[in-house]
Amino acid sequence: MPQESLRPPQWPDDRVCSADQKGLVREMLTRIGDKWTTLVITTLARGPLRFSALLGEINGLSHRMLTVTLRALERDGLVTRTVYAEVPPRVEYTLTDLGVTLIAPLGTIVDWVEGHQGQVAASRAEFDA
Amino acid sequence: MPQESLRPPQWPDDRVCSADQKGLVREMLTRIGDKWTTLVITTLARGPLRFSALLGEINGLSHRMLTVTLRALERDGLVTRTVYAEVPPRVEYTLTDLGVTLIAPLGTIVDWVEGHQGQVAASRAEFDA
DNA sequence: CTGTATCCCGTTCGATACTG
DNA sequence: CAGTATCGAACGGGATACAG
């Protein structure tokens, strides 16, 4: 088993968050903020999808990264993987109850970005000028 | 030539989000989720701080990464950089009004993590078993 | 004190090829 | 169709040295 496949970033530095759980919070933020996790969750929020459907819905997402992302979500208990014993094989991914509770908080961030992207873009334009 | 140095990430991939704004949403999520951004924002949420103070408050944060993080936040209009013409130089960083509006949404995520980290940890333990 | 520039290593991720 | 294995390029980020 390759090291990379499934290992979620373990945050080994307890100095960062010695007395509290900021390490875990940041680890989850890292997960939430990583390249594909949020897109996968928000896509699954509209209903269960199979692997190939997810791949089709999310533009630019590679085969391999979808697998990695889904495994991490599954490990965290946010997504359920259901295999149907058919030929050809069919696998459906569904948000768990826990995963569903993440939709709203995620939504506040998405809303913020959508509501302020103009200001951010303007600020960048000025900064880069 | 490989001046990757201190420049904030500039928008490398338009492929992913050609016509819509999901790319920007994800880009902001990436920024929010990256190693230090959230910690810097939440630390500045308690009040303005100078460079060295921030460095001291956030354990494990390196000199260089604080600069990189602050530049990105400044570029996005989330943080203001104020230089006082003194010797030795003093520079204070403050959340902008825009930056302040990010505190609440960020809080919903932090609250989610703190409220569900037990379930996540349990799920991981079972998955890894 | 604040910030920039280099070096350098580990990780990430896309492309590709292969299996059940 | 769904998933795994491998490889190479790109990136992140720490240590360090240096400058205003």
Phi then psi for residue B49, to 5 deg, are -145, 155
* Strand partners of residue B95: B79
Which residues of A are less than 8 Å from B26 in CB distance?
A: 35, 38-39
* pTM of the full structure: 0.81
In chain A, what residues touch B75 (CB-CB under 8 Å)?
Answer: 123-124, 127-128
CA nearest B60 in A: which residue?
A: A16
Phi and psi at B4, nearest 5°, equal: -75, -5
How far is B51 from B105, CA to CA, in rounded Å? 25
Q: Which of B86, B29, B14 is nearest to A33 (CA)?
A: B29
Listing DSSP states for B78-96 in one string gives: SEEEEEE--SS-EEEEEE-
User: Per residue in B50-96, pLDDT tens?
Assistant: 999 999 998 889 999 999 999 999 999 999 999 998 888 999 999 99
Distance separating alpha carbons of residues B95 and B101, to the nearest angstrom: 9
Per-residue pLDDT tens over the stretch A5-48: 334 433 333 333 433 456 667 777 778 777 789 889 999 999 99
* A33 to chain B, closest Cα gap in Å: 4
* pLDDT (0 to 100) of residue B22: 60
Which pLDDT value is given to residue B9?
41
Q: Which of residues 78-97 of A touch B (CB under 8 A)?
A: none
What are the helix and strand counts (H, E) for chain A? Answer: 6, 3
